[in-house]
Each structure stands twice: as structure tokens, then as C-alpha cells.
Structure 1
């Protein structure tokens, strides 16, 4: 079974929500995209599209992507003093305007390694 194909192509969105909810979600996405360009993130659109359209077709590239893109935010921490938690630093990766595209690229690389190459990807999870 191909993981990427089964998670993307075989999902029937209309069976989960009604048509009215789907239209309202589409309007929300359009509004969100407009807000990104309003805050100055519009100049990143070509880079976002390039990352989304990047195909992983090389085993070495896939391994490097899985190795260099972390599975979880490396900045999230609990600051402790004498065994007591003073404060918590929240994950800041989601502040990155390219976060979704980079995580999607890592997912595609892992799917390539699992589906096409037949490798064990548990080391990257």
C-alpha cells in the first residue's frame, strides 16, 4: 500500500462534511490567503509553490530531507531550576511562514522512502 496515495487521493471530502460547510471552509481559506498577502507574505508565494511542487525522486535527497527537517519543533522547552518548572517556551516553528510547505516536503520524502524504496523510516519518526 502506498502511504502518500492512500492519504491524499482516496479521501472523500464530501462524505465528511456537507456542501455548505465545504463552501464556508473554501471561503475561510480564501480569506486566509488574502490575509497572508495583506501582512506582506505575498512575496513568498513563488517559494511556497516551488516547495509544494518539488518532487522527491532521489533516495539520497529523501534521506537528507528527513534528516535535516525535524519531526518536532526543536525550540519547545521547559525551563527548570532545582527541579521546578519556571516557564515553558512554546513551539515557534509555526511562526515560520513556510512551515506547512517544509513539513509537507518532509512527509513526501518519508513516503518516497517507504513506498518506492521500501525502506524502514522509523528512524525519522
Structure 2
């Protein structure tokens, strides 16, 4: 659901309205184009594969447990799923790892 906040002209309160379709559709189309671009990247070079494995993390770096004297007070969930390109980046890293193992005979930690 696409939601937008607008200020009412008669009062200082905000009203919640839906985003107009003419704004939401181009944004969705733009995201789809970028997703296809990530999926179309071909890994043909050892340097590129190593770079991608180094830059794209194995797991979400934002997930944390806040502990105090050994007791967990709070848990911050992984925020990577909020990234619209998370699946494409994870798959790109996987393809880079496969290239390093199958074509170059390397293993990457």
C-alpha cells in the first residue's frame, strides 16, 4: 500500500492519503529495471568476483543483540529485507562465489 502524508490547508494536522498511481508506477518500474540490471551482470573476471565477495556482506550487518551483564535487553532485527535489491545482491554474491570455486579453483571465506 502506497501511503503519503499531506498537510491540510485548513489545519496543521496531517492527513494520510494514498500515493497517486502516476507516482507509484514509475517508481516500481524503475526498481524493476535496476533488479534486472543486477541479474544481468555476468561474472567473467576473477578480480570482479573477489571484489563482489568482499563488498557484499554474507549476512546482514545491522542485526544486533543489546546485552547488559550477559542478559539480552533488546534485539534489533535484520534490516536487509527492507532493501528492495537484497535478493539480487545476495544472488550476485552467490554467483561470484560459484565463479571463484568452479572456474578459478579458489575458495573464498
With the shorter chain as reference, the TM-score category is 0.7 to 0.9
Structure with greater contact order relative to length (CA < 8 Å, sep ≥ 6): 1
Taking the aligned partners of 2:68 and 2:29, their CA distance within structure 1 comes to 43
- Residue 83 of structure 1 deviates from its aligned partner by 1.6
Q: Which of 97, 115, 125 lines up with 2:84 in the alignment?
A: 97
Q: Is the counterpart of residue 42 in structure 1 residue 29 in structure 2?
A: yes
| Superposed displacement of residue 108, structure 1 | 0.5
> Rg bigger for which structure?
2
Q: How well do the aligned residues superpose, as a CA RMSD in angstroms?
A: 1.7
Question: Match of 1:64?
Answer: 51
Q: Does 1:109 align with 2:78?
A: no
Whichever structure has more helix as a proportion of its residues is: 1
CA drift of 1:58 comes to 0.6
Runs of 4+ residues deviating >4 angstroms:
none
Residue number in structure 2 paired with 1:82: 69
TM-score under structure 1 length normalisation: 0.64
Structure 2 spans left out of the alignment, 5+ residues: 1-23
- Deviation by residue 1:47-99 (Cα, 9 ceiling, x = unmatched): 11110010001101100100110110010010011221101000110110000
- 1:41·1:97 contact (CA, 8 Å) conserved in 2? no
Q: Using structure 2 for the length normalisation, give the TM-score.
A: 0.73
> Could you tell me which residue of structure 2 aligns to residue 52 of structure 1?
39
